[in-house]
Chains A and B, each alone.
Chain A
């Protein structure tokens, strides 16, 4: 049953020659970073060594920041460090660039060491514990629409906030989602415990797990971003097919 559904989903893709539509409409599906639960705490000392090698050129040897390059990390907190490092957003080659999701530069143990070091610099939001299984799907959709959809798009496909790109949330682990909500990385606002409480956060994480493969009862989802890919299908698939049809049906010109 499930396999058959998958096959049916794939069918239009096979029938369709306009691969470009799909390429435009659907977000790439990067590898899923391992959902890290509670782990043995890293060593702040080892973390400091890594910091001096890889981060200090922008954040300064004492992690108090260098003007016009990078902010101070005192008070940034463990959640921020874990978010930036485990999603590969840091280290950043050019400090003026927008940090992007990519493969993490450090392995898990190194990240834990760096997180311990940044956590030791001063209190900040701790790494939240997010359990999507406890969440309520409809509660997640409601909270996501009120607080997040304006930037991240209602099905989590990302968007723009005028001058910055807003990432899609298809590969974000529950922990990453929780950290982002509490920390407010880059230009994202932060949401404290009193604004989005732990059960709501669980629900949001549950909703975001759902939107990876939403219930596409109608067939091929063409990216879940609404009318732009629909218009492309209209012109490049439907109208193109019909123009080919009339070229065949009506072709009897005297040449």
Chain B
């Protein structure tokens, strides 16, 4: 059977050598290398559930009166778009399950990308020869954010409408091209031209997912070409890759992960309610609700918008840069700019290292990179958390204005402090030589001046130390004693 299938394919497309190579493709074993796979599988589930939802969704601004399955909205005027999402949730069997799985999958997709990116950053996996793949990954993150935003904006409930209003405000605030670009997108003033929802739908179900899919393919093919990086360890060098081959070990594990992701998403989708659009009611330009929030992956932007000073430079009565630009547009541009430029910055000013790297750094191995990364992460995280301070005030009774004023300054001070603390800790650890949590044995392999590779200063494993200590009273040479 196998032979016949292989022969059939090989005689027609000549795939046997490729297949042989693929089956023996080696994946280095470390759990953190599978975070990206979570994102990959979440994306697959997003596509599958998304196709299902597209078959029922109606992208229309047309006003209708609701007579569907949800009591409190009976007789209300709403758009067809909102009505169709209500119908998916109430009238189509299993529709709500698929919708909730789709939403949770989007949340998990972006979360997994972020975690994956952090792993890549702090282990230096973006270094030569992997810069291009790193940029592709960052680009996919940059595409995932608007993709998710468009997805929940299509529902046209109160929450999503408020989100669109803010997006309108932020786009409008961009200097020079703001008004023009916004009107091209929205087709006019908020709430947009009649064809606005179709435009969002095309972006959401076609243009951005295809772009992500294409980048994903290139991302994976590049990995196949370059192989994974690996952590230093016995037998692992810059010249080889040690681990489980694709067939059969890794394939089964990876498929197991696919279904584990599906299991988590379907259990959440069935048991934990997400974005109950029927509870928010329809959106009108003049409606609002307290405590409105975007989905988590845009929380850093609402934080930026809320934290910003009321700074709006103007000349002779004309506004130059409207305020939403700072928190809503400039802030993400700076963060993504940092992510894109980091490989250059590091090579140019920090490591001056142009060599090829297949072995990963531990975070302490490059204290400056780790410290800069931790500081930027703290900066973004603080602003992210500030976005939900209104709820914090409600729960913990810390006055809102006070919090905002405090963090307007602390958001600069804290990351700077974190930079110095992290750098000091990394240097300390590096000098100490052992892992803070467990002993690490093995050598650091470095490229020698002559171009070869050698193991440098192999630190003693914990076990070895114990052994030495136990034998010390014997007088040193235990072999001699025993003899």
A residues adjacent to B (C-beta < 8 A): 8, 11-12, 15, 24, 137-138, 140-142, 145-146, 149-155, 157-163, 165-166, 207, 210, 214-222, 224-228, 230-231, 233-235, 237-239, 241-243, 245-255
Contact = CB atoms under 8 A, between A and B. Distances in A.
Interface string B320-350: 0000000000000000000000000000000
B271 A254 contact: no
A253 B264 contact: no
B270 A219 contact: yes
A150 B290 contact: yes
Contacts of B393: 160, 165
A246 B111 contact: no
Contacts of B265: 238
B43 to A, nearest CB: 14
B33 interface: yes
A141 to B, nearest CB: 5
Nearest to A220: B272
Contacts of B256: 249
B261 A242 contact: yes
Interface residues of B, number: 80
Nearest to B384: A231
Secondary structure at the A interface, as helix, strand, loop or mixed, is: helix
A139 to B, nearest CB: 9
Interface string B240-281: 001110000000010011001100110010111111101111
A148 B275 CA distance: 21
A154 B279 contact: yes
Contacts of A230: 107, 274-275, 295-296
B106 to A, nearest CB: 9
In this complex, the member of B35, B90, B235 whose beta carbon has the largest number of chain A beta carbons within 10 angstroms is B35
A215 B71 contact: yes
A232 to B, nearest CB: 8
A210 B72 contact: yes
Contacts of B270: 219
Given A141-B73, A242-B38, A250 B268 contact: no
A181 to B, nearest CB: 17
A226 to B, nearest CB: 5
Contact of A159 (B33, B231, B275, B390): B390
Contact of B281 (A145, A161, A163, A247): A145
A218 B288 contact: no
